[in-house]
Amino acid sequence: MSMWSSKLISIFLLSMMLMSSSLSGCFGSDEVSQSQEQIIGELIIFNDDGAWSWFEDERAIISDGKIIVGSIASGGMDSNRTGDVEVVTYNLFTGVVELSELHNNLEYDDHNSPALLVRQDGRYIAVYSSHMGTHPLSNTIHWRISVNPYDSTSWGPELTFVPSNNSRVSYSNLHYLQDENANQGRIYNFFRGLNNSYNPSIMISDDMGDSWETIGLLIQHSGHRPYVKYASNGSESIHFIFTEGHPRD
């Protein structure tokens, strides 16, 4: 078995154990409690204070021998990190974990974790925002691009884009289609909140994330909040499924 396979199996086991721990807390199952005592493989902590919600993607990617994970810090371990947008880089060969801060104290909210994408030149792009509401930057998409190809530990300056002045944005989802833009490639960011709505919306970049353009709404459902999951083949198509309302309803 290769080192990569062994590491990934360990990480899979860790996530299964975390799930078992959560189930134990919910249901008090003796069987689950017993299973969480059986540790197989190496437990790897990527971030001692990191959270995300499932409304953004990709939240974690594997690239060039590394697992790169984006998250939001609660400040529970260090109050100075409250609301920090962070990226953790885990080297699959060496086991070294490196933490990088993308934005200091953006907002204490797990809906604000960054979406990650590998550009065609090997550099990484991370896109994030506040969670709508009354935040002073609630109409602003933020992003940063790594300085060097395949290096997620050093990032260029933060850039911003306002889809419209009355937008209240959240939930970025990045997808790249090579066949678009005369085969030069196009990045899509599907986000929520164009024009003060709860609707899934679209912005695009034809220069690998250096600049953005607002396209409009993807789904319009007055009075409801569609929640979407996206998948693409990287060339010419993007598929999505969505709810007709909030998952809690």
| pLDDT tens column, 106-142 | 988 888 899 999 999 999 999 999 887 667 788 999 9
Task: State the pLDDT at residue 151.
Answer: 97
Residues 209-248 have pLDDT tens digits of 999 999 999 888 777 788 899 999 999 999 998 887 777 7
Q: Give, for 142, the enclosing helix (H) or strand (E).
A: strand 141-145
What are residue 203's DSSP bridge partners?
189, 214
Average pLDDT over residues 16-38: 44
CA–CA separation, 202 and 229 (whole Å): 14
Q: Which of 201, 210, 209 is nearest to 171 (CA)?
A: 201
